Amino acid sequence: MNSEFISRLDKIELFLKNVLPEEITDSWKDYSFGKTDSCINREHLSVLTDPCTQLVSLGGKRWRPLLLVLCAEMTSQAKKTPADLNKAYSLTPLVEFAHTASLIHDDIEDGADTRRGKPCAHITFGLDVAINAASWLYFQAAASIQNLSLPAEEKVRFYELFLQELRLLHLGQAMDIKWHRNPDLIPSIDEYTAMVRNKTGTLARLAVKLGILAGGGSPSEAEAAGFIAQDIGVAFQIIDDVKNLTTGNPGKKRGDDIVEGKKSLPVLLHLQKNPSDKKVLADCFNRAKSEGIESSAVEQAISILTESGAVEEASKKGTAMVSQKSQELALLYGTKTPGSTLIEELFNSMH
């Protein structure tokens, strides 16, 4: 990895730990909750924090908070204005913790067993604890705004942006749930793209918008960048769809999208050309859901999608989208800067 990324990622970790520390302190409790009853202690708070800190500690690429910082750098460089990068770093928990919270809820809603190579939070801590902790983390992420030394109207802009993107994230998840609950229900490719723009693309969009604004960009520039970034999120979801059916995603099991009934792009591309296979794929989804990841239906479905060329077609589409959209984002201001060059390098290193 580029050493330029490592130094920024190290700094991002420090800001993440300010908002969600591994060790609970009285000052953090006051920062997060204000004055509470004296009987509330670390045991009570750990029921909220432990599921979240465990998942955060297991890693993740952290590309969203890194993208936020790089967009702030790109903007300040393009405008030739001093960069307040502490503002950008302070906002990184908004995207990383919203992502973490969504993973905990997503695993519950999908009936998943593992995340990042370990049992999912709802398996380790219990369903009730995991639901509550993940919901809390959405709100805790917003605590990163409250202590910023900014004018009230600027804070309000960040709050409004964060909450709007969270609403869109849940809309995307609602669409996905509707489709995976019914093996016979097949969305159009346009519906799939709209779902992913919200479920996955929304946090890329949020990262870019926050970074542009933190770097001194205008709301219209942030909006334009957000449209580009959401499709980068779509591209990476497509690449993840492909990996799930080929090598398997890191920390997950190959083919678990089949078990979960995911109507991924390879499925939709295959059915677009082979509509008569709808019943056989629906049967594979049903059998896999009933029998689990070891079901022969998993490999049967993967073979159907691979042999038709749908997996390869999706792979090419995702890779081309990453390349095209990252170039568009890097040229947002019409010229390359050190920050925009790093943005391109970041995305090129991820696929």
Write the pLDDT tens digit of every residue in 169-193.
999 999 999 988 887 888 999 999 9
Q: Domain of 159? A: 3-348
pLDDT less than 70: residues of the chain: 1, 351
Whole-number Å distance between alpha carbons of 202 and 166: 8
* Tally of domains in the chain: 1
Whole-number Å distance between alpha carbons of 186 and 264: 10
Whole-number Å distance between alpha carbons of 175 and 195: 6
Nearest to 238 by CA among 168, 311, 172, 300: 311
**CATH number, residue 76:** 1.10.600.10
**Predicted model pTM:** 0.92
Write the pLDDT tens digit of every residue in 105-158.
999 998 888 898 899 999 999 999 999 999 999 999 999 998 899 999 999 999
Whole-number Å distance between alpha carbons of 199 and 214: 24
